[in-house]
Structure 1
Amino acid sequence: MHKIEDLKIWRKSILLTKSVYGLLAELSSDEKYGLISQVKRSSISIPSNIAEGAGRNSNKEFKHFLSIANGSSYELQTQLILLIELNLIHKEKIQPVIDSCIEIQKMNYSFQQKL
Structure 2
Amino acid sequence: MELVGEIYKLTRTFPDIEKFGLASQMNRCAVSIPSNIAEGTSKSSDKHFNKYLEDSLGSAFELETQLIIAFREKYLTEKEYNILVETINQLQKMISRFKDRLG
TM-score class, shorter: over 0.9
| TM-superposition CA deviations, 1:25-73 (whole Å, max 9, x none) | 2222221001101111111110010011111111111111000000000
Show structure 2 runs of 5+ residues with no match: none
Match of 2:15?
28
Aligned AA (1:56): K
Q: CA deviation at 1:76?
A: 0.0
SS in 1 for 2:20: coil
Distance 1:46 1:91 in 2: 24
Question: RMSD over aligned Cα, in angstroms?
Answer: 0.9
Match of 2:70?
83
Distance 2:76 2:84 in 1: 12
Residues matched between the structures, number = 102
Q: Structure 1 stretches (4+) deviating beyond 6 angstroms?
A: none
Distance 1:34 1:74 in 2: 18
Match of 1:41?
28
Contact 1:80 1:94 in 2 (8 A): yes
SS in 2 for 1:57: coil
Match of 1:60?
47
Identity %: 35
Distance 1:54 1:89 in 2: 34
Match of 2:99?
112
Distance 1:91 1:50 in 2: 29
